[in-house]
């Protein structure tokens, strides 16, 4: 029971920490360095770093992480909010945990 709670807590708070670090801090900082002229550069570089941060996965899975990260960074850039980039992966992680546990 404690193990399942730890996995659930990690799937929630881990995602928030990753989004704050990569999409809120790093992507915003790169945008300001580039004077907001080239948002696609900050999105691609940030998501490449995000994918490489998950080095424990196979190259195919890293491509998937990179592609989903691009989508989430575009949503953050378009909306200016972290809500969607946080809620979407949290729901995805919780779904994965529930399917493993059940």
pTM of the predicted protein model: 0.76
Residue that wins the pLDDT comparison between 80 and 10: 80
* Predicted confidence (pLDDT) at residue 7 exceeds the cutoff of 60: yes
Q: Whole-angstrom Cα distance, residue 26 to residue 29?
A: 5
Residue with tokens 């989004």: 19
DSSP H helices, 1-102, are 2-18, 27-33, 39-53, 59-79, 83-101
Strongest mean pLDDT among 10-14, 32-36, 90-94: 32-36
- List pLDDT tens digits, range 44-97: 999 999 999 888 889 999 999 899 999 999 998 899 888 888 888 778 777 877
Residue that wins the pLDDT comparison between 34 and 12: 34
């Amino acid at each position: 029971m404690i193990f399942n709670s730890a996995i659930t807590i990690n799937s929630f708070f881990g995602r928030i920490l990753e989004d704050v670090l990569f999409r809120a801090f790093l992507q915003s900082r790169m945008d300001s360095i580039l004077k907001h002229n080239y948002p696609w550069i900050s999105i691609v570089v940030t998501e490449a770093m995000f994918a490489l941060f998950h080095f424990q996965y196979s190259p195919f899975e890293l491509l998937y992480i990179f592609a989903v990260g691009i989508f989430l960074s575009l949503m953050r850039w378009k909306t200016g909010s972290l809500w969607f980039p946080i809620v979407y992966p949290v729901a995805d992680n919780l779904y994965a945990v529930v399917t493993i546990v059940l």
